C-alpha cells in the first residue's frame, strides 16, 4: 500500500502549499510519520493513564515525563556531532527501530501484568536517549530529502502533521483504553514505527541532496565549532536568543493548563479537552498557512514570537472560559508560525556540514529545556498562582523578544552602506 501511495500520479498535481510532497523520498517519510506520530500520541495517552493506575500520583506522572526529556538536555549537543559525521538515513533506521522496541517492551510488560513504576522510569530514560539522536537527525534530514528550495514547505507540512496527530492520536488512545485495554496502546505504537522504517528502506539514494563528507575532528572540537557558528552568525543567533526564552519558559505553559481549566476557568475534563483542541486547531492552521509560502522571513519569525507572547499575556489575564478558548486559537497559530519559521531559517542559513549540530542546539532549546522550564513553571504556579505564573512566562517571552530585536537592530546598523543599498538584502531575511 505504501509504495502505491507514494508512486501515485496525483502527487504531481498538488498545489503549492503541498509542493514538497511531489518529492518521492519526502512523500515516503511524510506518510510514514503520519502513521507513526499518531501511534506516538496513542502511547502518550496510554502511558499517562498507566502511571495514574499504578500510583495515582501526579509526581510520578511528572517524573516519567521529565525522564523522557533529561537525556535530550544532556546528550543532544553531542548527538548533533554524530548527525554531521554519519549518513542520516541509516541513523534514522537505528533510532526508529529502537523506539519500536521500546514500545514493544512496554506492551509486553503491560499485557503480562508484571509492569511496575520502575519499568516506566527505565523505559522513559531509554526513549529519551533515542530521541536525543533521532530529533536532530530528522530535522537535518529534511533538506537532504527536498533540497533548500522546498525546505520551508517541508518543515511546515511536518508541523501540520505533528499537530494533526496531536488531535487524532489522543482520541484513538482513549478509545483503545476503553475498549481493548492499555497494552494495545503500546502495541499500536510499536507497529506504527514500521511505516517509517519501510519508508526509509524504500527511499532512492540518488534523489537525496547529500553534502560532501568532511574529515572528522575530535568530538569536542566539532561541538565547539557548531556552537561558535551559532553564536557568531547573526541570522542564527537571533533564533537562538528567541528560542532560549520562548522554548524554555513560554512553551512550558501547557503544564499549567489543567490547573487553569480546573481552578480558574472552573471547567471539567471535557472543557479542558476543548482548550487543548482549540490550541491544536490553531497550530494546524498556522502550519498550513506557512506551508503555502515560498520562504521564511525575519518579520514572520518576530511576528510569530510576538503573537505567542501576547497570547500568553491574554491567557494570564482571562478568567472567562469562552475568552480563553478564543485566545488559544491564535496562540496555537502564532506558536507554529514561530517554530516553523525558526526551524526553516536555521535549515537555510546553516551550511550542510554543520546542520546536525545547529539543529541539535535548536532541539536543546525547544525540547531539552523542558525539565528546567517545567520545574520553574510548576514552582511559580504553586507559590504565586496559575495566572501569575503564566503572566511571568509571558513577561520572560517579551524579554527574549526585546533582546533578540535589540541584537538584530544592532547587527543591521553595523552593516556598511554598500551592503544595504539597492534592493533589500535577505541575509537576515528582511
174: domain CATH number is 1.20.1250.20
Examine the domain organization and report whether 101 and 233 are in the same domain. Answer: no
Domain edge (last residue) among 205, 240, 258: 205
Examine the domain organization and report whether 200 and 265 are in the same domain. Answer: no
Residue 406 pLDDT class (50, 70, 90 cuts): very high
Predicted confidence at residue 213, as pLDDT, reads 67
Number of domains in the chain: 2
Decide which of 425 and 285 is more confident: 285
What's the rounded Cα separation, in Å, for the pair 204 and 235? Answer: 33
What's the rounded Cα separation, in Å, for the pair 2 and 396? Answer: 45
Examine the domain organization and report whether 291 and 180 are in the same domain. Answer: no
Predicted confidence at residue 294, as pLDDT, reads 67
Decide which of 245 and 2 is more confident: 245
Average pLDDT, the chain: 86
What's the rounded Cα separation, in Å, for the pair 189 and 180? Answer: 14
Residue 273 has pLDDT above 60, yes or no: yes
Residue 178 has pLDDT above 90, yes or no: no
Which of 133, 131, 130 has its CA nearest to residue 86?
133
Predicted confidence at residue 417, as pLDDT, reads 45
What's the rounded Cα separation, in Å, for the pair 56 and 49? Answer: 9
Residue 213, in any domain of the structure: no
Examine the domain organization and report whether 304 and 338 are in the same domain. Answer: yes
Which of 107, 73, 79 has its CA nearest to residue 92?
79
Residue 253 pLDDT class (50, 70, 90 cuts): confident
Q: Is 259 in contact with 386 (CB distance < 8 Å)?
A: yes
Residue 6, in any domain of the structure: no
SS3 content of the chain, % helix, strand, coil (to 5): 85, 0, 15
Residue 1, in any domain of the structure: no
Residue 128, in any domain of the structure: yes
What's the rounded Cα separation, in Å, for the pair 390 and 255? Answer: 10
What's the rounded Cα separation, in Å, for the pair 104 and 116? Answer: 16
Residue 210, in any domain of the structure: no
Q: Is 364 in contact with 318 (CB distance < 8 Å)?
A: no
**Per-residue pLDDT tens for 372-384?**
887 787 788 878 8
Residue 399 has pLDDT above 50, yes or no: yes
Which of 246, 372, 375, 379 has its CA nearest to residue 310?
246
Predicted confidence at residue 8, as pLDDT, reads 53
Domain edge (last residue) among 156, 181, 205: 205
State which H helix or E strand residue 314 sits in.
helix 298-317
Examine the domain organization and report whether 296 and 165 are in the same domain. Answer: no
Q: What are phi and psi of 381, to 5 degrees?
A: -65, -40
Which of 274, 303, 270 has its CA nearest to residue 286?
303
Examine the domain organization and report whether 195 and 254 are in the same domain. Answer: no
Which of 276, 279, 248 has its CA nearest to residue 261?
276
User: How many other CB atoms are there within 10 angstroms of residue 353's CB atom?
Assistant: 17
Phi-psi category of residue 209: left, alpha or beta, with phi > 0 → left and psi -120 to 50 → alpha? beta
Print the domain residue range for 195. 15-205
Residue 332 pLDDT class (50, 70, 90 cuts): very high
Predicted confidence at residue 12, as pLDDT, reads 54
Give Cβ neighbours of residue 402 (< 8 Å, ≥ 6 apart): none
What's the rounded Cα separation, in Å, for the pair 350 and 356? Answer: 9
Examine the domain organization and report whether 29 and 154 are in the same domain. Answer: yes
**Per-residue pLDDT tens for 74-88?**
999 999 999 998 999
Residue 11 has pLDDT above 60, yes or no: no
Residue 212, in any domain of the structure: no
The pTM of the full predicted model, rounded to 2 decimals, is 0.84
Which percentage of the chain shows pLDDT scores above 70? Answer: 89
Decide which of 413 and 403 is more confident: 403
Q: Is 265 in contact with 324 (CB distance < 8 Å)?
A: yes
Examine the domain organization and report whether 144 and 191 are in the same domain. Answer: yes
Domain edge (last residue) among 205, 228, 249: 205
Residue 4, in any domain of the structure: no
Residue 430 has pLDDT above 90, yes or no: no
Predicted confidence at residue 317, as pLDDT, reads 94
Residue 419 has pLDDT above 80, yes or no: no
Residue 166, in any domain of the structure: yes
Q: Is 68 exposed, middle or buried, given 0-12, 13-18 or 19+ CB atoms closer than 10 A?
A: buried
Examine the domain organization and report whether 223 and 101 are in the same domain. Answer: no
Q: What counts of helices (H) and strands (E) characterise the chain?
A: 17, 0
Residue 269 pLDDT class (50, 70, 90 cuts): low
Predicted confidence at residue 426, as pLDDT, reads 41
Examine the domain organization and report whether 229 and 146 are in the same domain. Answer: no
Examine the domain organization and report whether 135 and 277 are in the same domain. Answer: no
Examine the domain organization and report whether 224 and 297 are in the same domain. Answer: yes
Predicted confidence at residue 249, as pLDDT, reads 87
- Residue 223 grid cell: 561541538
User: How many other CB atoms are there within 10 angstroms of residue 5's CB atom?
Assistant: 12
**Per-residue pLDDT tens for 226-241?**
999 999 999 999 999 9
Residue 322 has pLDDT above 70, yes or no: yes
Predicted confidence at residue 425, as pLDDT, reads 37
Amino acid at each position: 500500500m505504501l509504495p502505491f501511495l507514494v508512486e501515485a500520479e496525483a502527487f504531481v498535481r498538488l498545489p503549492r502549499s503541498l509542493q514538497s510532497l511531489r518529492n518521492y523520498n519526502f512523500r515516503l517519510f511524510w506518510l510514514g510519520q503520519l502513521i507513526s506520530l499518531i501511534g506516538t500520541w496513542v502511547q502518550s495517552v496510554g502511558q499517562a493513564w498507566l502511571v495514574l493506575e499504578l500510583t495515582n500520583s501526579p509526581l510520578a506522572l511528572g517524573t516519567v515525563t521529565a525522564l523522557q526529556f533529561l537525556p535530550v538536555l544532556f546528550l543532544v549537543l553531542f548527538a548533533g556531532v554524530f548527525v554531521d559525521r554519519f549518513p542520516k538515513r541509516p541513523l534514522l533506521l537505528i533510532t526508529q527501530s529502537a523506539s519500536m522496541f521500546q514500545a514493544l517492551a512496554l506492551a509486553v510488560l503491560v499485557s503480562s501484568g508484571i509492569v511496575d513504576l520502575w519499568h516506566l522510569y527505565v523505559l522513559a530514560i531509554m526513549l529519551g536517549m533515542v530521541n536525543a539522536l533521532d530529533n536532530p537527525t530528522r530535522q537535518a534530514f529534511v533538506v537532504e530529502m527536498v533540497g533548500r528550495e522546498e525546505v520551508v514547505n517541508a518543515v511546515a507540512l511536518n508541523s501540520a502533521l505533528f499537530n494533526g496527530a496531536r488531535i487524532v492520536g489522543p482520541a484513538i488512545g482513549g478509545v483503545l483504553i476503553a475498549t481493548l485495554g492499555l497494552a494495545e496502546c503500546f502495541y499500536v505504537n510499536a507497529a506504527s514505527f514500521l511505516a517509517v522504517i519501510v519508508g526509509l528502506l524504500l527511499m532512492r539514494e540518488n534523489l537525496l541532496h547529500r553534502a560532501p563528507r568532511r574529515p572528522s575532528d575530535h568530538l569536542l572540537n566539532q561541538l565547539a565549532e557548531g556552537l561558535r557558528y551559532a553564536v557568531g552568525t547573526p541570522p542564527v543567533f537571533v533564533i537562538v536568543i528567541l528560542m532560549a526564552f520562548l522554548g524554555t519558559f513560554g512553551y512550558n505553559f501547557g503544564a499549567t493548563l489543567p490547573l487553569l481549566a480546573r481552578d480558574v476557568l472552573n471547567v471539567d475534563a471535557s472543557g479542558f479537552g476543548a482548550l487543548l483542541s482549540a490550541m491544536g486547531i490553531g497550530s494546524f492552521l498556522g502550519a498550513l498557512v506557512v506551508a503555502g509560502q515560498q520562504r521564511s522571513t525575519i518579520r514572520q519569525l518576530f511576528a510569530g514570537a510576538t503573537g505567542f507572547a501576547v497570547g500568553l499575556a491574554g491567557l494570564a489575564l482571562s478568567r472567562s472560559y469562552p475568552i480563553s478558548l478564543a485566545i488559544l486559537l491564535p496562540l496555537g497559530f502564532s506558536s507554529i508560525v514561530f517554530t516553523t519559521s525558526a526551524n526553516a531559517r536555521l535549515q537555510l542559513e546553516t551550511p550542510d556540514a554543520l546542520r546536525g549540530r545547529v539543529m541539535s542546539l535548536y532541539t536543546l532549546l525547544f525540547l531539552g529545556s523542558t525539565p528546567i522550564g517545567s520545574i520553574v513553571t510548576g514552582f511559580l504556579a504553586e507559590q504565586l498562582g496559575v495566572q501569575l505564573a503564566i503572566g511571568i512566562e509571558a513577561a520572560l517571552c517579551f524579554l527574549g523578544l526585546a533582546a533578540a530585536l535589540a541584537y538584530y537592530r544592532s547587527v543591521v546598523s553595523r552593516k556598511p552602506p554598500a551592503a544595504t543599498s539597492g534592493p533589500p538584502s535577505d541575509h537576515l531575511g528582511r
